[in-house]
A and B are shown apart, each in its own frame.
Chain A
Amino acid sequence: MKASMTAHQVAVDAIPRLEPGPWREDLLKQLRADMRVVTLVGRRDLDRVAITAVLQASDRSLRVSRTEVAPERGYHEMTTEHAALHCFERELHEQTGVRIAGHPWLKPIRYEGQEQSAMRSHPFYKIEGKEVHEVAVGPIHAGVIEPGSFRFMCLGEQVHHLEIHLGYQHRGVERRLLERDPRSLTPLIETIAGDTSVAHAWAYCSALEGLAGCQLDGETELARAVALELERVAMHLSGLAGMAADVGFLQGATTYGRLRTTAINTMMRLCGSRFGRGALRPGGVRMRLPPETLRDIRANLELLQADLPIINDCFLMARTVQHRLRSTGTLTTAQARELGLVGLAARASGIELDARHLMEHGAYSVVPIQPAVLPDGDCWARARIRIAEIEASLSWISTVIALYPNWEHPPLSIGELAPNQLAISLVEGFRGEVVHCIETGAHGEVVHYKVQDPSLRNWMGLALAVRGNEISDFPICNKSFDLSYCGNDL
C-alpha cells in the first residue's frame, strides 16, 4: 500500500477478497485483536454488492479487505459483537439494500432514496411505565441551527433514553459527486459540512492527488495544515461560545464569539473566505501571503494568544460553569471505545486517537502536535479539550509561519486518474477524523465516492452521554459534542 501524509492507496486487485463468511470472521478476529474500524463501505456492482472494510492497527497502518455478496443473500451482522459497526452496517443496508441478517437495529441513517417516505412512520423506541413521558424536539430547533429530531424518554426530569432521528438535511451529496468531473469537485466538497470545509477539502485533494500520481512539496502541505488548524481554532471557539451561552455565562459567550471572529477573519485574509473556501485545490493551495497579510496574521495570532488565557481563566473558574459542566453528559472510556468514537469526543473520554499524531511525513512531522487527552468523558472534559487544542493549534501555526513564511504555490495540474485503485484519506478535522474513499474503475473513472464525517460515529455517543442526566442539560451535552447534521445526512 502506498501512503502519503493523509492518503493511502491500494490497487483494487491487490485487496484480499474473501467469501462473506470468512471475511466476517477475519474482521471480527482483527477487531478483537485491538484493531479499530475506520470505515465499512458498500457499492452496488450490477447484481452484487462489493463491501470493503478498512481497519487501522495501533501503528496506524491500514488493513483493507473485501467481500462480494448477492444483496438478497447478504451476510450475518457483526454489530452485536462489535457495536462500533452499527452505523456502518445501517448505512450499508440503506445504500445498497444488502441483507444484514440478525442486525438488531437497521434504522436508516438518513432516509435517502425510497426510504424518504418512511421517515414519519419510524417506530421510536418506547419505555413502558405510568411515570414515563416522552419529549419530542425538532426537526426545527429553537436557535439558528440545522434540523434534526430528538425523542427523549424521561422519568421525571431524568432522561432514560434518547433516540436521535436524522436525515432532514439529506441533499444527495454522494450521488452528485459522481455527476461531475472528479478533478473539480472542491466547491461541492467544501459544502459537505460547511464548518469542516478545510478538512473535507484536504481529504478529497489528497485522495485525488494520490490517484493522479501528483506529489506535493512540503510547504504546500504546511499551508494546508495552517488552514486546517485555523478551522479548528475557529470552530472550537464557536463550541466554547455556545457552551458558555447554554450555561448562561454571557461573558464567555461574547468573548469566545469575538475571538472566533478574529480567527475566521484571519482565514479570510488568507483565502478570501471566512470558512476556508477556496484555500485548497487539488494539486496545491490558493492562499495569499503577501508581507502585509503576514504581518496582520501575526498580529491576530498574538491577540488570540494574549486574550484567550484571560477568558479561559474566567470561564474555568466560574462556579456556574463548573457546576453545570462537571459530571454532566459523561461517557466512559469503555463506552467511547465500544462505540468507536473519534475526535475530540474520544479524546475527552481518554482515548488517544488523533490522525495528526505520530506522522512519519508531512506537515505534522515537521512540527509535531501532541494530542490532548483527558479521562473524564464529561462536558467539562470536552470543553477543556477544546481549550487545550486551541492553544496547541495557535502555537503550532505561529511556529510554522515563523519557519516557513513562503507558501504561495499555484496548484499543479492534475492528470488522469490511475485505473482500478482505491484511495482512502484520513484528516483530523475539528470534530474528528474525516474519511474519504475514492475507487476508480478500468478507465480511471470514479466508480465510488464515499464520504464520512466524524459525526456519523459520534451521534450515538451523544445519545448515550445524556442517559441519566436531567433533560435540561441536553443543550450543553449537545453543544459539547457539536456534531454535524449535514455531514451525517450528506
Chain B
Amino acid sequence: MFLSLRVRASQGTQAIADLRKAVPTGFRGRPTIRRDPCAADCSACRDACPTQAIRLAPVALDLGRCVFCNACAEVCPETKIEFRPEPRMGGNEPVDLTVREGEEEMVRVRASAAFSRLFGRSLKMRQVSAGGCNACELELNAVTNVNFDVQRFGIEWVASPRHADALVLTGPLTRNMKEAVRLAWDAMPEPRFVVAVGACAISGGLYDGAAGVDRGFLESVGPSLYVPGCPPHPLTFVNAILDLLGIA
C-alpha cells in the first residue's frame, strides 16, 4: 500500500496538458525547404533519398514517402532542407502531403463536418498491421498511455472490427495479409473509414514494389486520413485525428 503510494507520488501527473501545442524536443519532424537557388545540375538530395520522396526544380518533398532519415538534408550543399521538431503533419488527400520550397504555412488536416458529426464525440479504432515493422504499432499504442491519453477525447482502440469506426492501417500491405485486411474491413459496420499511418501504409515507403507487397486493398478503398512518419510521433497521429474530427 505504501509502496503503491510512493509509485503514485513519484509518477505525479504525466498527461501532456495541451496535445495541440506540445513540441517533442529533438524530434526530427516536419521539414522546411528554404527558397534559395540550387546549384546548377545539383540533384544531391533526390539521389540520396531512399524512397524517391523528392522532386526538383523547385524542390518538393513528399511526406507520404519520406522516412525522415535526414539523408537529403545532410547532402544538400545549400543546406536548404531542415527537419524541425514539428510533429503536426497529415492530410485528407495525398496531395496535401507535399512540402514545397519557401512554404511558410503548413498544410493541416481539414476538419470534416460529416466526420465531426458522426465521430466527434466517440471514435473507435481497430488497428491492423500488414507488414508494419512494430515501430508504427508501438507509437499507436502509445497514444493511449498516460502521457498522450487520447481517451480523454472519446477516442479508443477496440479489439473487434465489428465495434470499429476506423480501420487504422500500418505497413506496406503484404500479400500474405491481403485476405485478413479485407475480412477486417468487411466486418466493420458503416459508416467507416480508413486511416493510413506511416510511410509504408501511405505509399509503400521503403517497400514500394517489394516482392511480398500487394497494395490492392488501398487502391480499392481510399484512406480518409494520411498520417506521415516513420514511425509517426504519437502527437502526429493525435493531432491529425483531432483536426479531422474538428476537435479544438
Q: Tell me if B177 counts as interface (CB < 8 A to partner A).
A: yes
Complex CA gap A171/B205 in Å reads 12
Q: Tell me if A116 counts as interface (CB < 8 A to partner B).
A: yes
Query: What sequence of 0s and 1s flags, for each residue 112-124 of chain A, a beta carbon within 8 Å of any chain B beta carbon?
Result: 1100100110000
Query: What sequence of 0s and 1s flags, for each residue 91-116 of chain A, a beta carbon within 8 Å of any chain B beta carbon?
Result: 00000000000000000000111001
Q: Across the interface, do A147 and B129 meet the contact criterion of CB distance under 8 Å? A: yes
Q: Across the interface, do A143 and B159 meet the contact criterion of CB distance under 8 Å? A: yes
Contacts of B24 in A (CB 8 A): 265, 268
The one of A120, A187, A195 in contact with B67, judged by C-beta atoms closer than 8 angstroms, is A187
What residue in chain A is nearest B160 (Cβ atoms)? A142
Q: Across the interface, do A194 and B134 meet the contact criterion of CB distance under 8 Å? A: yes
What residue in chain A is nearest B12 (Cβ atoms)? A258
Complex CA gap A145/B128 in Å reads 8
Contacts of A168 in B (CB 8 A): 130, 174, 176-177, 180
Complex CA gap A193/B212 in Å reads 16
Given A194-B134, A278-B70, A187 contacting B157 (CB threshold 8 A) = no
Contacts of A197 in B (CB 8 A): 135
The one of A147, A187, A293 in contact with B26, judged by C-beta atoms closer than 8 angstroms, is A293
Q: Tell me if A140 counts as interface (CB < 8 A to partner B).
A: yes
Q: Across the interface, do B50 and A180 meet the contact criterion of CB distance under 8 Å? A: yes
Name the interface residues of A273-314: CB closer than 8 Å to any CB of B.
273-275, 277-278, 286, 288, 293, 296, 306-307, 310-311, 313-314
The one of B28, B134, B135, B147 in contact with A258, judged by C-beta atoms closer than 8 angstroms, is B147
Given A272-B83, A307-B10, A169 contacting B131 (CB threshold 8 A) = yes
Name the interface residues of B83-142: CB closer than 8 Å to any CB of A.
83, 127-142
Q: Across the interface, do A277 and B210 meet the contact criterion of CB distance under 8 Å? A: no
Q: Tell me if B19 counts as interface (CB < 8 A to partner A).
A: no
Q: Across the interface, do B137 and A144 meet the contact criterion of CB distance under 8 Å? A: yes
Given A175-B210, A313-B3, A269 contacting B26 (CB threshold 8 A) = yes
What residue in chain A is nearest B10 (Cβ atoms)? A307
Contacts of B177 in A (CB 8 A): 139, 147, 168-169
Q: Across the interface, do B7 and A191 meet the contact criterion of CB distance under 8 Å? A: no
Given A168-B177, A269-B25, A257 contacting B131 (CB threshold 8 A) = no
Query: Total A-B residue pairs with C-beta atoms closer than 8 Å?
Result: 193
In angstroms, how far is the closest chain B Cβ from the Cβ of A86?
Answer: 21
Q: Tell me if B228 counts as interface (CB < 8 A to partner A).
A: no
In angstroms, how far is the closest chain B Cβ from the Cβ of A226?
Answer: 15
Given A254-B146, A261-B147, A310-B6, A187 contacting B206 (CB threshold 8 A) = yes
Q: Across the interface, do A195 and B10 meet the contact criterion of CB distance under 8 Å? A: no
Count of A residues near B, CB < 8 Å?
Answer: 66
Contacts of A306 in B (CB 8 A): 10
Contacts of B129 in A (CB 8 A): 144-147, 169
Q: Tell me if A486 counts as interface (CB < 8 A to partner B).
A: yes
Q: Across the interface, do B159 and A142 meet the contact criterion of CB distance under 8 Å? A: yes
Given A145-B137, A272-B70, A113 contacting B27 (CB threshold 8 A) = no
Q: Across the interface, do B176 and A170 meet the contact criterion of CB distance under 8 Å? A: yes
Q: Across the interface, do A258 and B146 meet the contact criterion of CB distance under 8 Å? A: yes
In angstroms, how far is the closest chain B Cβ from the Cβ of A17?
Answer: 30
Q: Tell me if A76 counts as interface (CB < 8 A to partner B).
A: no
Q: Across the interface, do A310 and B10 meet the contact criterion of CB distance under 8 Å? A: yes
Complex CA gap A317/B6 in Å reads 14
Q: Is the interface of A mostly helix, strand, loop or mixed?
A: helix
Q: Across the interface, do A172 and B137 meet the contact criterion of CB distance under 8 Å? A: no
Complex CA gap A485/B28 in Å reads 27
In angstroms, how far is the closest chain A Cβ from the Cβ of B23?
Answer: 12
Given A146-B129, A170-B176, A112 contacting B212 (CB threshold 8 A) = yes
Q: Across the interface, do B68 and A273 meet the contact criterion of CB distance under 8 Å? A: yes
Q: Tell me if A184 counts as interface (CB < 8 A to partner B).
A: yes
Given A116-B175, A147-B177, A188-B50, A176 contacting B210 (CB threshold 8 A) = yes
The one of B7, B83, B132, B159 in contact with A251, judged by C-beta atoms closer than 8 angstroms, is B7
Given A144-B137, A238-B138, A286-B70, A486 contacting B176 (CB threshold 8 A) = no
Contacts of B175 in A (CB 8 A): 116, 170
Contacts of B50 in A (CB 8 A): 180, 184, 187-188
Q: Tell me if A52 counts as interface (CB < 8 A to partner B).
A: no
Q: Across the interface, do A275 and B71 meet the contact criterion of CB distance under 8 Å? A: no
The one of B11, B134, B206 in contact with A188, judged by C-beta atoms closer than 8 angstroms, is B206
What residue in chain A is nearest B70 (Cβ atoms)? A278
Contacts of B4 in A (CB 8 A): 251, 314
Q: Across the interface, do A192 and B133 meet the contact criterion of CB distance under 8 Å? A: yes
Q: Tell me if A255 counts as interface (CB < 8 A to partner B).
A: yes
Q: Across the interface, do B7 and A486 meet the contact criterion of CB distance under 8 Å? A: no
What residue in chain A is nearest B181 (Cβ atoms)? A140
The one of A144, A180, A278, A486 in contact with B133, judged by C-beta atoms closer than 8 angstroms, is A486
Contacts of A251 in B (CB 8 A): 4, 7-8
Contacts of A307 in B (CB 8 A): 7, 10-11
Given A145-B137, A147-B128, A194-B138, A275 contacting B231 (CB threshold 8 A) = yes
Contacts of A485 in B (CB 8 A): 134
Q: Tell me if A328 counts as interface (CB < 8 A to partner B).
A: no
Q: Across the interface, do A175 and B211 meet the contact criterion of CB distance under 8 Å? A: yes
In angstroms, how far is the closest chain A Cβ from the Cβ of B179?
Answer: 8
Query: What sequence of 0s and 1s flags, for each residue 177-213 of chain B, a beta carbon within 8 Å of any chain A beta carbon?
Result: 1011000100000000000000010000011001111
Q: Across the interface, do A111 and B7 meet the contact criterion of CB distance under 8 Å? A: no
In angstroms, how far is the closest chain B Cβ from the Cβ of A449?
Answer: 14
Q: What are 10 A-B contacts with C-beta separation under 8 Å?
A: A140-B184, A144-B127, A144-B137, A145-B134, A147-B128, A169-B176, A171-B207, A197-B135, A261-B145, A265-B26
| Sample of 17 further A-B pairs with CB below 8 A, known A187-B230, A188-B206, A293-B26 | A113-B211, A120-B179, A140-B180, A143-B141, A143-B157, A144-B141, A169-B130, A169-B171, A171-B210, A171-B213, A175-B210, A184-B71, A194-B138, A265-B25, A277-B67, A277-B135, A314-B3
B-binding residues in A (CB < 8 A) = 111-113, 116, 119-120, 139-140, 142-147, 167-173, 175-176, 180, 184, 186-188, 191-195, 197, 238, 251, 254-255, 257-258, 261, 265, 268-270, 272-275, 277-278, 286, 288, 293, 296, 306-307, 310-311, 313-314, 317, 484-486, 489
A-binding residues in B (CB < 8 A) = 3-4, 6-8, 10-11, 14, 24-28, 48, 50-51, 67-71, 74, 83, 127-142, 145-147, 157, 159-160, 171-172, 174-177, 179-180, 184, 200, 206-207, 210-213, 230-231, 233
Ordered nearest first, which 9 A-B pairs have the shortest CB separation? A194-B135, A172-B211, A272-B28, A194-B133, A142-B159, A172-B210, A172-B212, A269-B26, A170-B212
